[in-house]
Amino acid sequence: MTGAKSASSKPQPAGKAAAMCTQAANSHEAAGTSLHTGNGKPVPPGMHEREILRLECVSKLYGSGESGVAAIRDMDFTIHNGELTSVLGPSGSGKSTLLHLMGLLDKPTTGKVYIAGTDTTSISDADQARLRGKMIGFVFQAFNLISSFTALENVELPLMIYDVPKEERRKKATAILERLQMGHRLNHLPSQLSGGERQRVAIARALINDPEIILADEPTGNLDSKTGEEVLKIIEDLHQEGRTIILVTHDESLVKVTEKVVRIRDGRLVKSEVLV
């Protein structure tokens, strides 16, 4: 992903920004651009009732004064448990910044980010890190595997951080890799794996702590079309198990596997709709 800072705009004062955010949220709702099915029908009763992630009037500003840049502006939307959602936008729309905010890798300048009902902007950095480690798994476009670690060791890494005993973490990591058809590549380094195999290892690492939310940044971006389809099939299977998955992408074709799409442009929410 290219840097989201290109979505430039002069920052607004905090009070004015909050008022604009509230007005924008109300206008979205009044215009019918809040959650609805793609064919215009209401969301079925009981569908994804528990809120798992919510952004409330979130803005992210870089710099100040005339040179300041607003990468994300007045972002309001909710993800419910078990939803497979695509966050879709062109290059420079603020996707990278938004992913960092949703994943608690960065803090908003204004607004609130809620994870499972917890206002993450009101807790300490240490508590944020604990919540992130427990609740969120990441899958990155560039895989972000440690080159000197084997596939098994890369998947074990999050458990090492939490001092899980070696035998326990090895057993769990092996089981996940075998499930993703990587049991024959446990002791291979990333340089010895294909792009698709590296992405499977990255997905296994995201699953190792059994997170409630999986954030996938352009998960097929570095893959050929056939391998990309295989990775999407894995994502669909994980969704069928009830996992909450958010695909952050510029690729319109990925929308076909999701049941909800959040469209953004120039750092702003354009539309959020349920497609099923």
Average pLDDT over residues 80-95: 95
Question: Which tops the pLDDT comparison, 10 or 274?
Answer: 274
pLDDT at position 64 is 80
SS3 34: coil
Query: What order of strands is seen across the sheet that includes strand 118-119?
Result: 69-80, 51-62, 110-115, 118-119
Q: Note the pLDDT of residue 54.
A: 97
Strand order in the sheet with 213-217: 136-139, 213-217, 244-249, 84-88, 260-265, 268-274
CA distance 143 to 198: 7
pTM: 0.83
Q: Cβ contacts of residue 100 below 8 Å, gap of 6+?
A: 106
Token digits of residue 127: 């508590």
User: What's the number of CA atoms in the CB half-sphere (13 Å) around residue 134?
Assistant: 8
Helix and strand element counts for the chain (H, E): 7, 10
Q: Reply yes or no on whether the pLDDT at 35 is more than 60.
A: no
The yes-or-no verdict on residue 48 having pLDDT over 90 is: no
**Under a CB-based contact definition with an 8 Å cutoff, are residues 60 and 268 in contact?**
no
| pLDDT mean across residues, the chain | 86
For position 4, what pLDDT does the model report?
42
The pLDDT score that the predictor gives to residue 23 is 52
Q: How many structural domains is the chain composed of?
A: 1
Q: Which domain holds residue 82?
A: 4-274
pLDDT tens digits, 187-233: 999 999 999 999 999 999 999 999 999 999 999 998 999 999 999 99
Highest mean pLDDT among 2-11, 29-38, 236-245: 236-245
Q: Is the pLDDT of residue 82 over 90?
A: yes
Q: Kindly list the distances between the CA atom of residue 82 and the CA atoms of 32, 34, 53, 132, in Å, as whole numbers in the listed order.
A: 23, 19, 11, 18
What's the pLDDT tens digit per position in 116-147? 999 999 999 999 999 999 999 999 989 999 99
2 or 187, greater pLDDT: 187
CATH code of the domain covering residue 196: 3.40.50.300
pLDDT at 68 over 70: yes
Q: Distance of CA 87 to CAs 82, 123, 128, 231, 262, Å?
A: 15, 26, 23, 18, 5
The arithmetic mean of pLDDT across residues 36-50, rounded, is 49
